[in-house]
Amino acid sequence: MRLLTRSRREALTNFWLAGPATLMMIVLIFVPVLIVAVLSFTDYQFGARSFRWIGLGNYVTLFTDPIGRRAVTNTLIYVAVVIPFSMGLALLVAIALHEMATWSRTLSSILRAAYFLPVAATLVAMALAWQMLLHPSIGLFNAALSSLGFPRQDLLSDRSLVLYTLAAIGIWQTIGYNMVLFLAGLAAIPQHLYDAAAVDGAERPWERFWTVTWPMLGPTTLFVAVITATQSFRVFETVATLTDGGPAFASDTLVYALYREGFVYFKAGYASAITMVFFAFVLTLTLAQFRILERRVHYR
């Protein structure tokens, strides 16, 4: 009888501890996701008193309409550019600052703060700063091009360059955060592993990196890849501030299309379909990263 009473007390305690958080998760996350999933199969518009069930009509429109396909394609290109460059440059910066701390901790700290500033600053404010920097007539970028003898470039109005310009800004925004994560991973690597590698003949920096640093950064790399992929897929602030998806939808992305269709044109059903496609892309990429990178993760 005492064991049964004790188990009931433990169950009641667990319910009181985890129950509120679980309830809030269900109400604020799972229920809205379910509602969005249902709305994606309808033609519902905000303010309408009725709606029709149209099945996969919204999804067919998204992938057959030129504007919808452009948003999907632009998002995939943006992600394909930002993820590898953001992670690679962040890792290089983290290794350089980690080594710099051995002979100048003050300079290393200053540079860490400088690289992290884009993360701490407001994205909209930073986007406006980039808008002035890239201005075709008074921007510093074009002034530098002119001084070097190159023609001026309107990077935010050129259909062939605007998406890659936004991707470069996205890389600039995410390097600082990824750098901090890689620095934490580098600080957790025991020094005796490098000593053992040196005894085995790995004395060059490149050999030390491949035999010790890179394998031990496996868990950090997996986490950085997932975080960077999520941030890349939900790019919105720079698009909304700098280009509004233009010119001619050349910089349109899924999240901006979701905003435009849902909150400008009030097409709640179509916007819900875009949301579900966005969720499917993020989930697929995350699972693929876990499946591919987890095999290379070395846990201590």
* Predicted local confidence at residue 252, as pLDDT: 93
C-alpha to C-alpha distance for 18 and 23, rounded to whole angstroms: 9
Q: What pLDDT, in 10s, does the model give residues 263-288?
A: 999 999 999 999 999 999 988 888 88
* Predicted local confidence at residue 300, as pLDDT: 47
* Predicted local confidence at residue 296, as pLDDT: 60
**Contacts of 43 by beta carbon, 8 Å cutoff, 6+ apart:** 51, 52, 54, 57, 58, 269, 270
Sequence length of the chain is 300
C-alpha to C-alpha distance for 91 and 231, rounded to whole angstroms: 17
Does residue 42 sit in helix, strand or coil?
Answer: strand
Low-confidence ranges of the chain (pLDDT < 70): 1-4, 293-300
User: Quick one: which of 141, 140, 134, 142 has its CA closest to 166?
Assistant: 134
* Predicted local confidence at residue 102, as pLDDT: 83
* Predicted local confidence at residue 294, as pLDDT: 64
* Predicted local confidence at residue 145, as pLDDT: 86
* Predicted local confidence at residue 94, as pLDDT: 93
Q: How many CA atoms lie within 13 A of 53 on its CB side?
A: 2
